[in-house]
Amino acid sequence: GLQIIPENIYDPSSLLLKAVDASGIVGCVELREQGGRLYLGMLTVKPDLQGRGIGKELLRASEDVALSRDCHTIFMTVLTVRTELIDWYKRHGYRDTGARKPFAFTDPRYGKPRIPLEFAVLEKKLN
């Protein structure tokens, strides 16, 4: 079965949750405390295993971590062009706050995006 394993990475306010099954790591998410809220970033599920509930399990585990750290809001940034991803988060109780953050292209090695990019800020209040 699927296990969610926490691992501290580079500082005490950050935590990496790994979704692991018999084949190895199948998904992960980084969590970071920021001002009494929990930032959720880089949620990833192995492409050939998407649609099997792994992302949902990582979200649920992230919410458990938030509450265990007395954070009652989880927030994240998602590229606005990833509407299918924003819709997926909305189906799991997150809402678009309307706030936008610029996408910074600071590394010339990756070139300039062909279209203007910005991040939507999503959040979910936890009880």
Say how many Å lie between the first and final Cα of the chain, rounded.
28
Overall pTM surpassing 0.75 (yes/no):
yes
Per-residue pLDDT tens over the stretch 28-58: 999 999 999 999 999 999 999 999 999 999 9
**For the domain that residue 100 is a member of, what is the CATH number?**
3.40.630.30
In the chain (127 residues long), the average pLDDT of successive 10-residue segments reads: 78 88 95 94 96 97 96 97 97 98 79 86 96
pLDDT at 13: 77
pLDDT at 57: 97
Question: Are 38 and 91 contacting, i.e. CB atoms less than 8 angstroms apart?
Answer: no
- CA dihedral angle for residue 32, residue 53, residue 86, residue 84, rounded to 10 degrees: 140
Expressed as residue numbers, the domain containing 53 is: 3-125
Structural domain total, the chain: 1
pLDDT at 37: 96
Q: What percent of the chain has pLDDT over 90?
A: 75
